[in-house]
Amino acid sequence: MSSANVSLIPIIRPFCVPDERDVVALWARCGLVRPWNDPQKDIARKLAIAPDLFLVAVVDGQLVGTVMAGYEGHRGWVNYLAVELVHRRRGIGRLLMAEAERLLRAVGCPKVNLQVRAENAEVVAFYRRLDYVVDDVLSLGKRFVEDGRQSEISDVNVMPS
């Protein structure tokens, strides 16, 4: 590998508090921010529970990807997989998922679940390439906390899921 390509090798590491601004901005650019999920509160909640399962990808000093995983003793979950548009199709999402899966396996997780908006065919195809299959289940949810929308992300084009 030439020295010109060395700086393009992604480093996958745990999230650090100074990453927060870049992570929230990435999530907004990737369309992951929704009015009912305050990203700063989601980060704070994750840091309180298994922060080692919150990963970022860095290329040449720039944060370009994230994945947030969790395990509650029955199933693992993956949320907030995001890769900067200009860095997509370079294997960064695959690396983030591989490391999240490795960490979940290491704590004894037997299966991992994730949710994808039904209209997001590109993302569904990505996960299928990683051997994920569509489970014959209906996803239900119940909100306990209304996060509301933060002023920092008010210019984000938000679509309901």
Q: Does residue 70 have a pLDDT over 90?
A: yes
Residue count of the chain: 161
Dihedral (CA of 47, 74, 125, 96) sign: positive
Domain residue limits, the chain = 3-134
Q: Do 69 and 77 meet the contact criterion of CB atoms below 8 Å apart?
A: yes
Instruction: Provide the residue type at 78 as one letter.
Output: V
Q: Which two tokens stand for residue 8?
A: 């393009």
Phi-psi region at 52: left, alpha or beta (left = phi > 0; alpha = psi -120 to 50): alpha
Q: Quote the mean pLDDT of the chain.
A: 88
Domain 3-134 has what CATH class?
Answer: alpha beta
Q: Model confidence over 88-133: pLDDT tens digits?
A: 999 999 999 999 999 999 999 999 999 998 889 999 999 999 999 9
